């Protein structure tokens, strides 16, 4: 037999905005479904995550452009590395998209800017990759700060997954850059690094 909860509703830490259809829920009830047209994150967080979703899709687009550039210049291992990076960034975008959907957000996709098509030397390709990852780290840190300020713990937990992922991303690209700087323009050294890049295994699903 169903028994009503002993705690009054106001002790469940559920805050409903009086002038908006937005609903902020700090503690979710199992099996509780949201009324149509409501969300469980703030409007500002919804907008910030939607913008980050666009940045994640751009990341995928950028790495696909890098893959095409490397392939065109016969760095097939680097092309494969960037192809896998493209797939990983697409998974990251999907992770944010799924979260927004779970929070009841009506996701509206934004236009994706065109990435560059020329990147210079293979070293410059990876330097551009590192600069991009550092930019993404800054954006994710700002989002984490916003989630903490809003006491949005569910979104903060999601973002911490991304923040931790960025540490690995930057370390990986930084290591490749260090090797490329060591060999400089030595053809044999570049070939060895390219072969190593081509052996990168696919990342598990996010």
Q: What is the CATH number of the domain that holds 102?
A: 1.20.1260.10
For Cα atoms 48, 50, 51, give the angle at the middle one, nearest 5 degrees.
65
22 domain residue, yes or no: no
Region 144-163: what's the mean pLDDT? 97
Region 6-19: what's the mean pLDDT? 37
8 domain residue, yes or no: no
The pTM of the full predicted model, rounded to 2 decimals, is 0.79
30 domain residue, yes or no: no
Region 35-48: what's the mean pLDDT? 80
Rounded distance, CA 89 to CA 76, Å? Answer: 20
Region 201-206: what's the mean pLDDT? 75
Question: Helices (DSSP H) in the chain: which residue ranges?
Answer: 43-72, 76-102, 122-149, 153-183, 187-198
Q: Which two tokens stand for residue 119?
A: 């990147």
The more confident residue out of 58 and 34 is 58
Residue 11 clears pLDDT 50, i.e. is over it: no
Residue 9 clears pLDDT 60, i.e. is over it: no
Region 54-79: what's the mean pLDDT? 98
Rounded distance, CA 99 to CA 124, Å? Answer: 34
The answer to whether the CB of 57 falls within 8 A of the CB of 95 is: no
Q: Residue 15 phi/psi, 5° resolution?
A: -110, 125
Q: Provide the 10 A C-beta neighbour count for residue 205.
A: 9
27 domain residue, yes or no: no
Q: What's the domain count of the chain?
A: 1
Region 165-175: what's the mean pLDDT? 96
Residue 117 clears pLDDT 50, i.e. is over it: yes
Residue 8 clears pLDDT 50, i.e. is over it: no
170 domain residue, yes or no: yes
Which residues form the domain of 173? Answer: 42-198
Confidence of residue 40 (pLDDT cuts 50, 70, 90): confident
Q: What percent of the chain has pLDDT over 90?
A: 77
178 domain residue, yes or no: yes
The answer to whether the CB of 97 falls within 8 A of the CB of 67 is: no
Q: What does the mean pLDDT of the chain come to?
A: 85
CA atoms within 13 A on the CB side of 198: 13
The 10 Å CB-count burial string (b at 16+, else e) for 70-86 is beeeebebbbbbbbbbb
206 domain residue, yes or no: no
158 domain residue, yes or no: yes
CA atoms within 13 A on the CB side of 142: 11
């Amino acid at each position: 037999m169903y028994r009503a909860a002993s705690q009054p509703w106001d002790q469940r830490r559920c805050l409903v905005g009086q002038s908006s259809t937005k609903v902020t829920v700090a503690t979710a009830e199992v099996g509780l479904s949201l009324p149509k047209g409501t969300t469980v994150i703030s409007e500002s967080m919804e907008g910030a995550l939607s913008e980050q979703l666009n940045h994640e899709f751009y990341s995928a687009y950028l790495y696909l452009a890098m893959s095409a550039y490397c392939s065109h210049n016969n760095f097939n291992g680097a092309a494969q590395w960037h192809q896998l990076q493209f797939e990983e960034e697409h998974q990251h975008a999907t992770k944010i998209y799924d979260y927004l959907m779970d929070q009841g957000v009506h996701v509206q996709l934004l236009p994706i800017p065109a990435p560059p098509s020329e990147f210079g030397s293979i070293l410059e390709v990876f330097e551009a990759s590192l600069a991009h990852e550092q930019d993404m780290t800054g954006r994710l840190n700002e989002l984490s700060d916003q989630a903490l300020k809003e006491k949005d713990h569910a979104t903060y937990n999601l973002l911490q997954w991304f923040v931790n992922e960025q540490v690995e991303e930057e370390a990986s690209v930084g290591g490749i850059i260090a090797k490329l700087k060591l060999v400089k323009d030595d053809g044999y050294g570049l070939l060895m690094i390219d072969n190593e890049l081509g052996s990168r295994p696919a990342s598990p699903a996010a």
